[in-house]
Amino acid sequence: MTLERGDLVWIPCEVKHGVFPDERNVRIESAAGDWTGVVNVQQLRDEITDGRTAIRATIIQDVKGEFAARLPGQISRRQYLAVSATQRARLQEA
């Protein structure tokens, strides 16, 4: 898959229910460290309460097969996720 800055992708994630009915707690595993945040359910591929689905992200940088993606929602540490070349195969275009 060829990715360019601004492309939308689905990144696999683990979902748990949130405090409000329209939000979910999301965790994405990454070699650079897990990303956790609270997102609106509309940012998920499947409107589930608990389980695995994917979150919509925007590619912000692609260098030598590794890239950074901006993720929506309220976050605990950083607004973007670094994804290695090996994880790239798990992505789907949005």
pLDDT of res. 35: 85
Instruction: Work out the pLDDT band at 41, boundaries 50, 70, 90.
Output: very high
Determine which of 15-19, 26-30, 70-74 has the lowest per-residue pLDDT on average: 70-74
What residue ranges do the domains of the chain occupy?
A: 8-93
> Which band of pLDDT confidence, cut at 50, 70 and 90, is reported for residue 85?
low
The full length of the chain comes to 94
Tens digit of pLDDT for each residue in 43-58? 999 999 999 999 998 8
What is the spatial distance between Cα 75 and Cα 25, in angstroms, rounded to a whole number? 10
The model's confidence at residue 32, banded by pLDDT at 50, 70 and 90, is confident
